[in-house]
Structure 1
Amino acid sequence: MSRLSTEQLAAVSDEILVDHCQKGDRQSFQMLYRRYQKKVRSTLYQLCGEAVLDDLVQDVFLKAWQGLPKLRNPQYFSTWLYRICWNVATDQRRRFAKRQTTSIDMLPESSSQFAAADSGGLATLHYQDLVQQGLQMLSLDQRAVLVLHDLKDLPQKEVAEILSVPVGTVKSRLHHGRRSLRQFLESQGVQL
């Protein structure tokens, strides 16, 4: 197998990169890492907070590297990687629960579903803080669906695959999570 230049790798599909990785090409994995590192980091940040974020990101990519030889459908690499993210976030939440940690620091980057009408300064920061507080009140299941669907713009079907639940469950969690978040925001004086 010939080695590809960095420029060639940038233009190659995930499926081909995964195939090269499965044949032991570390350069291809580095390219996959560069493609997905920010998305993985952002997802973990929104699900788990900042406290051990670097460790969690490393854990996701270590598990991905170790699991790549067993990945049978390389065309679903991104869904598979988000599934690993979800598993790492769930494991982290269990560790927090064992230590009786009650605060998870989360601040969404943006949300098309819950965007603030005033995009300037303190009003936006206040609104983001309220969204953060509202998300913290949701169950991890509801929070995960809102983060993956509303903040990461993943389709409901892909969210269902990542979380290993039926699409109907995703719809239900989305509905209940949005309703709970809306009620919280309205109780804080936010007009929706």
Structure 2
Amino acid sequence: MTVLADNPANATEKNLVLRCQKGDTVSFKELYRRYQQRVRATLYQLCGSEMLDDLVQDVFLRVWKGLPKLKEPSYFSTWLYRIAWNVATDKRRKFAQNLSLNDDGTILNIMPSRPEDTPDLMRLHYQDLIQQGLQNLSLEHRVVLVLHDLEDVPQKEVASILQLPVGTVKSRLFYARNQMREFLRKQGAL
């Protein structure tokens, strides 16, 4: 029994965080294993595929460095998504500073590339349309839609992550869904 309790794979998230705060790298690897795909998916939706591995690595590096300061281990996932949001915001800010423009003032190379390894052409097309629709939203609206609708984060937690009132999250979610629906309708996907 004691062996199972010490096994990080069987530990609760809160216990893993407490162990990490004491420097336990095995527990951190378990947290990484549990959250890496979700963080990766969130960053992909917010920033596209360019430098995705670096962004994920940056999030978890910040998590490792910040864990000793985390006062409420039970809010780890909220705190983790907040870090992912900050990394995405930093990347977008740097991206905006380095944009190149066409002669008519339109932005070059803003759309992320499509995943080439997906065999289902319709699914690939739909994912590309969703990514294009997300790119048409402001970052403030996009992050609410990605976290709530694509990552299944509850509205209250989204509000906590973004440090916004729940009413603002609801309003942005309503607007983002309408914009996305309108974009997909114009593309003939609805």
TM-score > 0.5 by shorter chain: yes
Q: Which residue of 2 aligns with 1:11?
A: 10
Confirm whether residue 71 of structure 1 aligns to residue 70 of structure 2.
Answer: yes
Q: Which residue of 1 aligns with 2:112?
A: 105
1:93-172 superposed matches below 5 A: 93-100=92-99, 102=107, 103-105=110-112, 121-172=120-171
The answer as to whether partners of 1:142 and 1:173 remain within 8 angstroms in 2 is yes
How many residue pairs get matched? 178
Take 1:32 and 1:183, find their aligned partners in 2: how far apart are those partners?
Answer: 38
Q: Which residue of 1 aligns with 2:53?
A: 54
Take 1:128 and 1:54, find their aligned partners in 2: how far apart are those partners?
Answer: 20
The answer as to whether partners of 2:8 and 2:27 remain within 8 angstroms in 1 is yes
TM-score (norm 2): 0.86
Bigger mean CA deviation after superposition, 138-147 or 182-191: 182-191
CA deviation map 1:60-90 (0-9, x unaligned): 0111011111100000101100100000000
SS of the equivalent of 2:189 reads coil
Q: CA deviation at 1:185?
A: 1.1
Q: Structure 1 residues 4, 34: closer, same or farther in 2, change over 3 A?
A: farther
CA deviation map 1:107-131 (0-9, x unaligned): 79xxxxxxxxxxx944433332222
Q: CA deviation at 1:31?
A: 1.1
Identical columns (%): 61
Q: Which residue of 1 aligns with 2:179?
A: 180
SS of the equivalent of 2:123 reads helix
Take 2:57 and 2:126, find their aligned partners in 1: how far apart are those partners?
Answer: 31
SS of the equivalent of 1:45 reads helix
Q: Structure 1 residues 164, 74: closer, same or farther in 2, change over 3 A?
A: same
Q: Structure 1 residues 68, 171: closer, same or farther in 2, change over 3 A?
A: same
CA deviation map 1:28-72 (0-9, x unaligned): 111111111111111111111111111111110111011111100
TM-score (norm 1): 0.85
Report the AA paired with residue 10 of structure 1: A
The answer as to whether partners of 2:111 and 2:132 remain within 8 angstroms in 1 is no
